[in-house]
């Protein structure tokens, strides 16, 4: 979990602004003043949780069994939609391990993780029941690459239960046997901005939310 030291660091910055007469509304327009502190305090803690190895003898929570090699695009699409939409694996860590190579790597804008670490870390870091997830559009298959767009509100299992919105594109790469060998997230938001939004939500300044529908 993110340490109390990291949270205290963020709260100290908030208190400093208050002493200087900066209102909560002013915090929103002064993101530059807390980006560096928020990012330096929170990012290493988030990375540590996501990259933590699974306990010895454990599979990290992913389903273990024979690998589903040689799936057609249609078959892979149906399987992935269950994980993405029904299981909401990006906020719960509940994915089908048989679709991935044992050596598959998962990369977001913060770090790179192996399969057991991604599954275990996602479940430890995010509160799936309080997180929201949207698949935007359809899955796109082109050669060995699968892409889809997502929009999510992540609820973190840390003090104050802060939430932060992240949107972007996921790119999956399949090997010659059809198994997924690489998972890569491309965020629309920068890492510092995402961490600042997390902090602002946690202290009640600006609630994380999806954009208003047009």
pTM above 0.85, yes or no: no
Q: What is the pLDDT of residue 43?
A: 56
Q: Does 202 or 22 have the greater pLDDT score?
A: 202
Dihedral sign, Cα of residue 189, residue 193, residue 194, residue 198: negative
Q: Which helix (H) or strand (E) holds 123?
A: helix 115-125
Tokens of 30: 């002064």
Q: Which helix (H) or strand (E) holds 6?
A: helix 4-19
Highest mean pLDDT, choosing among 17-26, 37-46, 83-92:
83-92
Total H helices, total E strands in the chain? 7, 6
């Amino acid at each position: 979990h993110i340490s109390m030291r990291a949270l205290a660091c963020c709260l100290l910055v908030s208190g400093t602004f208050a002493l200087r007469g900066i209102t909560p509304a002013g915090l929103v327009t002064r993101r530059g003043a807390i980006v560096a502190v928020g990012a330096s305090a929170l990012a290493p803690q988030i990375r540590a949780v996501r990259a933590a190895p699974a306990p010895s003898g454990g599979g990290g929570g992913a389903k273990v069994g024979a690998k589903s090699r040689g799936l057609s695009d249609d078959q892979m699409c149906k399987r992935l939609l269950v994980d993405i939409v029904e299981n909401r694996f990006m906020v719960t860590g509940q994915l089908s391990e048989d679709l991935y190579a044992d050596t598959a790597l998962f990369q977001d804008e913060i770090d790179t993780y192996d399969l057991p670490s991604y599954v275990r870390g996602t479940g430890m870091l995010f509160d799936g029941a309080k997180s929201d997830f949207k698949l935007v559009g359809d899955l796109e298959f082109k050669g060995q690459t699968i892409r889809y767009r997502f929009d999510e509100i992540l609820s973190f299992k840390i003090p104050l239960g802060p939430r932060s919105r992240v949107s972007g594109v996921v790119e999956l790469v399949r090997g010659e046997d059809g198994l997924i060998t690489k998972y890569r997230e491309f965020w629309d938001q920068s890492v510092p901005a995402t961490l600042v939004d997390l902090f602002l939500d946690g202290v009640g300044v600006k609630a994380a939310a999806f954009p208003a529908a047009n």
